[in-house]
Amino acid sequence: MAESMQGLHRSHRCTEVSNKNIGETVTVMGWVQKRRNLGSLIFIDLRDRSGLLQLVFDENNGEVFEKAKNLRSEFVIAAEGVVRQRSGAVNENMATGDIEVTVNTLRILSEAETPPFPVEEDANTREELRLKYRYLDLRKPHLQRNLKMRSDITTFIRKFMSNEGFIEIETPTLCKSTPEGARDYLVPSRVHPGCFYALPQSPQLYKQLLMCSGFDRYIQIAKCYRDEDLRADRQPEFTQVDMELSFVDVDDVIDVNERLLKALFKEILDVDVQLPIQRMTWIEAMNRYGSDKPDTRFGMELIDVTDVVKGCGFGVFTGAIENGGSVRGLNVKGQGAMPRKKIDKLVDSAKGNGAKGLAYIAMHEDGTIKSSFAKFMTDEEMDNLIKAMDGQPGDLLVFAADKNKIVWNVLGALRLELAEQLDLIDKSKFNFLWVVEFPQFEWSDEQNRFLAMHHPFTMPMDEDLDYIESDPGRVRAKAYDIVLNGSEIGGGSVRIHQADVQERMLKALGFTTEAAHEQFGFLLDAFKYGVPPHAGLAYGLDRLVMHMTGEDNIREVIAFPKVKDASCLMTEAPTAVDAKQLEELSIETIDVEEEK
């Protein structure tokens, strides 16, 4: 049975006790990590949030010794005793490895059944079981550390931004649904039958309105929601570090964020971020890395050989070029002897990314080459191509030929896959990069119209303003992403603050005047009454913390995450609800087998 802790008061957390306390009486409380019986002595490793401390029970203290015999893993106890130099060998792996506490008083605050999996690192437990018993999984040191670091990160960000004059303002989470963008989570209204709120995909419109209100600098660490299929780095609810600034341009946003990142990484990880962070235009990022979030921790850049192979004998190349596409290659240094089977796998994954195939030249150390397309080329054509690729004996050259978008995607993905395979990435590095000058619009074959690449409130670059109607594809935006090690950790833009430009933009995106006003009327209205130039940025906090903790799944930095089907294995949410609840909301479920 559970005993009360009445009359006892914790004096230290486990690792707050040290050899400075030798001879003192302390009271510690925590979980039994493990018990060892050594004849007349019982040893307990006591665990709390701070770490482990060894407790000793001596059979000379009969009553307490007998009680200690009952202790099992995960029992919660309170122990009062005297700190002593450790009697056995010092444990170098433990902060308190040179001391122990000889217990005089023991209370069992809570007993424990044998847990469904051992509460220790590297226990080989299925993730489903870990998530069902998340409260046990969270006892593990790495999750304790991750969530502590997450808390430290947000605490630091808030402090830094507050010092920079940012005001934290909470925006609503019961919002208006807007069809543009990802799928909304909806909330039926009881008071307004047939009507729904939407959970926010971001506080975008609200923060722009706050700039209209003159708050000047806004920050919020805000919950956001997207009802989309999940991936390793995506949850139905996620957290943004969201900011907006008035009377600024691109450089001002970048400046404050660079200083934030430098200070944050120094404070939390003792990592020095070199400023200024490199900036790269979107087009350069695509051309060099085949990605708008390039991992710059390694080279192996894309090489454009379109001009070299133009007019060559290989129809795959020339056909792509004639269709307005390009031919680009990667030089996989030192991999000329890659087995055919492995090359075939590369071809397969290229096809998975939309390529029709992958051409290659394997350059052997002896100077001979093997190529999938040499027979279509003259020797001179081959020589020129190899030269353009800086091919050396021992190298593997791979090529994709198609529309630019496909070539970039294919080679960008291949580059990452090869880097992983060949272990080219220095995982200790934190490589930051600004990607700037994104296209304003993105053509959607599916919807047969232009979509906003960032969102409809992004300001075009001044010199491209004239092309919104005449040539949307060439309009670049005052948009920027901050990329860390090949992952987009944040992004933002300067916003349109002129009502007329905003209306042109919405028109270019296919909104009728009515539709625009129905959806964004309050923003367009606000724009009539004096709007400051403004710009902002939002970080994906989960992803940022994931990188800073060195995890590769955001579930490891979220206390109670959901799984791929957006359910919670611990609470079993979502669940069926009482018919009465639905009735009050004036909704009913369809296409569901009813419980009779």
In 10 A of CB 490, how many CB atoms? 22
**Quick one: which of 256, 231, 286, 182 has its CA closest to 565?**
231
Residue with Cβ nearer a copy of itself (340 or 528): 528
What 3-state class would DSSP assign to 341? helix
Q: Give the nearest distance from C-beta 577 to a copy of itself in angstroms.
A: 5
Annotated binding residues for L-aspartate, written as ranges, equal 180, 226, 454, 495
Residue with Cβ nearer a copy of itself (51 or 491): 51
Residue with Cβ nearer a copy of itself (289 or 520): 520
Q: Give the nearest distance from C-beta 27 to a copy of itself in angstroms.
A: 10
What 3-state class would DSSP assign to 58? strand
Residue with Cβ nearer a copy of itself (273 or 468): 468
**Quick one: which of 591, 523, 555 has its CA closest to 213?**
523
Q: Give the nearest distance from C-beta 532 to a copy of itself in angstroms.
A: 5
Q: Give the nearest distance from C-beta 565 to a copy of itself in angstroms.
A: 5
CB 122 within 8 A of CB 99: no
Q: Locate 166 and state its tokens.
A: 């940012």
DSSP string, 126-140: -HHHHHHTHHHHTTS
Distance CA 561, CA 237 (A): 9
Distance CA 14, CA 18 (A): 9
Residue with Cβ nearer a copy of itself (39 or 530): 530
Q: Give the nearest distance from C-beta 140 to a copy of itself in angstroms.
A: 9
Annotated binding residues for ATP, written as ranges, equal 226-228, 235, 488, 540-543
Q: Give the nearest distance from C-beta 210 to a copy of itself in angstroms.
A: 7
Residue with Cβ nearer a copy of itself (388 or 501): 501
CB-based burial, 133-147: b 16+ in 10 Å, e otherwise: bbebbebbeebbebb
The CA angle 272-277-282, to the nearest 5 degrees, is 145
Q: Give the nearest distance from C-beta 586 to a copy of itself in angstroms.
A: 5
Going 242 to 246 to 250 to 253, the CA torsion angle's sign is negative
Q: Give the nearest distance from C-beta 393 to a copy of itself in angstroms.
A: 53
Residue with Cβ nearer a copy of itself (293 or 478): 478
Residue with Cβ nearer a copy of itself (148 or 429): 148
Q: What is the largest CA-CA distance in the chain?
A: 94
DSSP string, 7-43: T------GGG--GGGTT-EEEEEEEEEEEEEETTEEE
Q: Residues, the chain, total?
A: 596
Residue with Cβ nearer a copy of itself (134 or 476): 134
Please state, in angstroms and as integers, the Cα–Cα distance from residue 320 to each residue in 64, 312, 405, 490, following that order. Answer: 82, 12, 12, 34
Name residues whose C-beta falls within 8 Å of residue 38's C-beta, 6 or more positions apart in sequence. Answer: none
Q: Locate 11 and state its tokens.
A: 């004096």
In 10 A of CB 567, how many CB atoms? 15
CB 372 within 8 A of CB 340: no
Residue with Cβ nearer a copy of itself (173 or 384): 173
CB 540 within 8 A of CB 238: yes
Q: Please list the residues that pair with 379 across neighbouring strands.
A: none
Return the amino acid letter for 407.
V
Give the position of tokens 């007019």.
311
58 burial (CB, 10 Å; 0-12 / 13-18 / 19+) is middle
Q: Give the nearest distance from C-beta 114 to a copy of itself in angstroms.
A: 9
Q: Give the nearest distance from C-beta 582 to a copy of itself in angstroms.
A: 8
CB 491 within 8 A of CB 538: yes
Q: Give the nearest distance from C-beta 104 to a copy of itself in angstroms.
A: 18
Residue with Cβ nearer a copy of itself (219 or 309): 219
Distance CA 281, CA 490 (A): 16
Annotated binding residues, written as ranges, equal 180, 226-228, 235, 454, 488, 495, 540-543
Distance CA 388, CA 377 (A): 15
Q: Give the nearest distance from C-beta 58 to a copy of itself in angstroms.
A: 25
Phi and psi angles of residue 81, each rounded to the nearest 5 degrees, phi first: -170, -175
Residue with Cβ nearer a copy of itself (248 or 358): 248
R_g of the chain computed on alpha carbons: 30
